[in-house]
Amino acid sequence: MNSIRAFALRRVQAQQSRIAGMWGKSPERGISAAGFVIGISVAALVASIIVPIAFGQFFSTDTTSWDAQTILIWSIVPLVVVLAIVLWFLNKADDQA
């Protein structure tokens, strides 16, 4: 039981030192964290402008001559795109930590 507790304590301490290093203890990591936050902010701003336009164009597509399966897949595509973007940001944030 003590070995499990010691392992958990080492994991927590390693996580805390990584977080502390990322947010300013080390100048290089602090700068890269600031750049990452700025990058996410710019990406969110651009996405907030482009995504509504893209969704409007996407959903105004004429699907009257398509079969039912194609129409169903066509309506799910925006959800897959949003999910891919979220997963990409989560992966990027995990790489920075």
Give average pLDDT by consecutive 10-residue segment, the chain, 97 residues.
Answer: 71 68 55 77 92 84 86 84 88 70
pLDDT of residue 50: 92
**Which residues are CB-neighbours of 33 under 8 A, at least 6 positions away?**
22, 23, 24, 96
**What range does the domain containing 81 cover?**
2-96
Contact 66, 47 (CB under 8 A): no
d(CA 1, CA 49): 54
Tokens encoding 39: 């990058």
Q: Three-state DSSP class for 51? A: helix
pLDDT of residue 97: 59
Report the number of distinct structural domains present in the chain.
Answer: 1
pLDDT of residue 7: 73
Alpha carbon of residue 14 to chain centroid: 23
